[in-house]
Amino acid sequence: MPEAVNLAEKLALFTEHWSPKIVTTYNDNDIMVVKFDGEFPMHNHPETDDFFLVLDGHITIETEDGNVDLRPGELYVVPRGVMHRPIAHGEAKVLLIEPQGAPNSGDPATAATKVRI
């Protein structure tokens, strides 16, 4: 039977920050929820765009092309190859989309392990 993914229920299952959790897949992409708090390191993804939709809270994505402020119901797609760093002003809850296997830090050596919940 098909089952809805309730994003708030998924977000209630964990407390860690910067640790994306896979909730479903779309073609070859992971659909993930993540909790941000504070600053993530500057990085890029040479092979893929990077999708951010804020569900709760307030983030700024600093990029080499300028900064973008996102609040709930706002999204931004960082183009592939563009250096960027998300910063959360307090805890923020975000829907992320990245290709399956893409390191969230841009570098497999420092990437979080993405677990399905």
Which residues bind to a second copy, rule: CB under 8 A? 1-8, 23-27, 31, 48-49, 51, 53, 55, 61, 63, 65-70, 73-78, 80, 95, 97, 99
d(CA 51, CA 1): 28
Q: Quick one: 67 or 109, whose CB is closer to a second copy?
A: 67
Burial of 66 (0-12, 13-18, 19+ CB in 10 A): exposed
Shortest gap between Cβ of 2 and a second copy (angstroms)? 4
Q: Quick one: 60 or 109, whose CB is closer to a second copy?
A: 60
Q: Quick one: 28 or 109, whose CB is closer to a second copy?
A: 28
Name the pairing type of β-strands 50-56 and 84-99: antiparallel
Shortest gap between Cβ of 21 and a second copy (angstroms)? 14
Answer yes or no: are the C-beta atoms of 36 and 66 closer than 8 Å.
no
